[in-house]
Amino acid sequence: MLNAIHNKLDELFPEMVDIRRYLHQYPEVSFQETKTAQYIADYYEELGIPYEKNVGGNGVIATMKGGKPGKRIALRADFDALPIQDEKDVPYKSKVDGVMHACGHDGHTASLLTLAKTMKDFQDELPGTILFLHQHAEEYAPGGAKPIIESGALNNADAVFGTHLWATTPLGVLQTSKGAFMAGPDRFEITIQGQGGHGGYPHETKDAITIGSQVVSQLQQIVSRRLDPLETAVISIGQFEAGNAFNVIADKARLVGTVRYLANDVQEKIISEMEKVVKGICDTNDATYSINYEKGYPPLVNNAEEAELVLHASENVKEIHTAEEIKPVMAGEDFAYYTIEKPGAYFFTGAQKDDSPYPHHHPKFDIDERAIPIAAKTLIAAYLAYQEQ
């Protein structure tokens, strides 16, 4: 049956491209994906596959019960876009100013929708039940996965699998991990209140820029000097805002950044050490401060058995020439919530486009659309392999 399914997916490749390009032209940012959700629902309506809308927000879950007994497995695709201006010169360029699919979620949606269309033809032969899980709001915490789980929609699921079209991995390569796979991404904002004054009289001020610069420098030493060298973490400052004139010493500085980690105890250590660093520097300089630390998604940790299953299942996908385990990446993903609750695994499907070397979240981001059916083929291969356990 698997070969026949794969052949049908190949036949639907033009439709996959059409869906992906339509969604690429009409993107919607996280928590505002109402038209995209309706597009997905309308597709299942036309297929005659029962579905539920507004799951945990804008989520859509379609359910296909096979003709043979088996397990209940969710296959997940996200569908939100990003607040980025599309700078590609292509016919399917975003028509929405300041919004684009800069992470491949349009391709994820096209992959899962056409997989559902394919499986409709094989429903009588299908063991178990497929939950086609279309998730909103992956890009921004608190995300869509957590409320979908809290809705109870996956209470009876036995496992969950998902993939990300990965634009920096070559076509035909599958990557995953049998443990920690993606980082926990947190956000923090530090405000330093000093005392401004004339640029010619620094001794009469409490220079927020100087103080902030010390904070930036010392925060880097949390990772290099206060954590076990065998632990993995990143502290990055993305914004440093202070001052408004060349001859005025700033009274306030605002630092915004991210923490990435793979172990929960490392996260807590960083939070504690960050407080010590900022307090110590501000106390020394007679300044005050505030820290707003926002915990994001937990690290995405694959279940080892399910990750191994994906690796083996990929051997049945002729377009995949390399299936490999890789070290964790420091990007985040709210698929993490699913593997906390259920057995499952997440993997990257190589989608690097030869003439588009741009990474995820770049204004010129694009994918090799030949990866879309590869993603669908691997998901259904994993589904069927899990049914045989």
What six digits make up the tokens of 99? 């919004």
What lies within 8 Å, CB to CB, of 357 at 6+ separation is: none
Supply the DSSP symbol for 101.
-
Alpha carbon distance 267, 269 (integer Å) = 5
- The residue type of 356 is S
What six digits make up the tokens of 224? 């290099």
Catalytic residue from among 78, 86, 138, 334 = 138
Q: Is 114 exposed, middle or buried (0-12, 13-18, 19+ CB in 10 A)?
A: buried
Is 80 a residue of the active site? yes
Is the separation of the CB atoms in 130 and 115 below 8 Å? no
Is 138 a residue of the active site? yes
Alpha carbon distance 181, 83 (integer Å) = 26
Is the separation of the CB atoms in 31 and 147 below 8 Å? no
Catalytic residue from among 28, 33, 78, 80 = 80
Is the separation of the CB atoms in 273 and 220 below 8 Å? no
DSSP of 201-254, one letter per residue? -GGGSB-HHHHHHHHHHHHHHIIIIIS-TTS-EEEEEEEEEE-SSTTEE-SEEE
Is the separation of the CB atoms in 219 and 190 below 8 Å? no
**Taking the CA of residue 63 as centre, how many other CA atoms within 13 Å lie in the half-sphere pointing to its CB?**
13
Alpha carbon distance 157, 168 (integer Å) = 32
172: left (phi over 0), alpha (psi -120 to 50) or beta: left
| Residues carrying an active site annotation | 80, 138
